[in-house]
Structure 1
């Protein structure tokens, strides 16, 4: 990562750049691998290298990814990495104009669909995972009665817990402790609803 900070996207052009489904998949793949070339990513997303390169340049133009140091091999290949440890958006940054609301809603829906597809893919293949991984995977739903401020504090606490575990996994990988480690997705939502 270029920084260990989280970036909150507030401008519409950057949100639109991220709002393309393939770009979101490429960004997510870079979050997992840390750094990759267009060729590596094209294999992961099953798209042409030229198309992947185009979308990587769009992400870079908005500062979402940056060039990484070459990892060897062909010196002509460009390596890319996420510019920040994570990204987020908030409704409050886009509610000042109808177009901004519509774009934020559309990008949020696309992101939620991709998260759902990731989980459904796990469900489709879970029998192929070893028992300890199947026993550790979870899906939880909690119905709480909170104020808006309490929901905000809950979000902050949950994000802090995830940041702690992300740092622990990163430190272990950097120390060469990769035995038994897999990429793990953690999706959390917290939102009001009425019955």
Structure 2
């Protein structure tokens, strides 16, 4: 059965710990950015055996981050998997009230931060070889705004609304297309990685 298209917020320590596995996180990233795949195909990218990856795919499915894509199977021998959009979400108020919860949260936050910076570094390193249109369209900025806590919450919601709008636009635009169709031609589309932080600086 196809999901409703959103990952569930993490509400228990077991799931939080499950998503701190670096390989599991990488597989979820690949399925989000490159589209449905099999354990064998993923193994060509992350240099792991199909059996090992199959185990982690089942774990990701168990926790609501991927699902099978049976309509893509051609010979019935290997399962296809697709990512469920929505990302990894949790509430510190719910999960960080114990030492074990705080430790798992810190591990997951560190993993996320490292991967964000690795992906940014990959872009910086490859940027000189990119087409001019993509180099010009890519964006980075920073700013300092003097806000109250409630104003920061409002700004965050507005930023999230804009990001969600364009993510939804992209999903609708590629519905029913293969990865090759999406990434070729004059109107080629590519996965665009967006990440943002907004936090109070120390006085």
1:90 is matched with 91
Of the three residues 192, 197, 201, the one matched with 1:193 is: 201
The answer to whether structure 1 residue 17 and structure 2 residue 25 are counterparts is no
With structure 2 as the length reference, what TM-score do the two structures score?
A: 0.87
Structure 2: state its 5+ residue gaps. Answer: none
Distance 1:141 1:128 in 2: 25
Distance 2:96 2:73 in 1: 45
2:120 is matched with 119
Distance 1:7 1:63 in 2: 7
* 1:21-72 per-position Cα deviation (integer Å, ceiling 9, x unaligned): 1111111111123422111221232322222112112212222222222313
1:143 is matched with 144
2:192 is matched with 184
**CA shift for structure 1 position 6:** 4.8
1:170 is matched with 171
With structure 1 as the length reference, what TM-score do the two structures score?
A: 0.90
Give the 3 Å change call, closer, same or farther, for CA 72–53 of structure 1 in structure 2.
Answer: closer
Within 5 Å, which residues of 2 pair with 1:25-104? Answer: 25-104=26-105
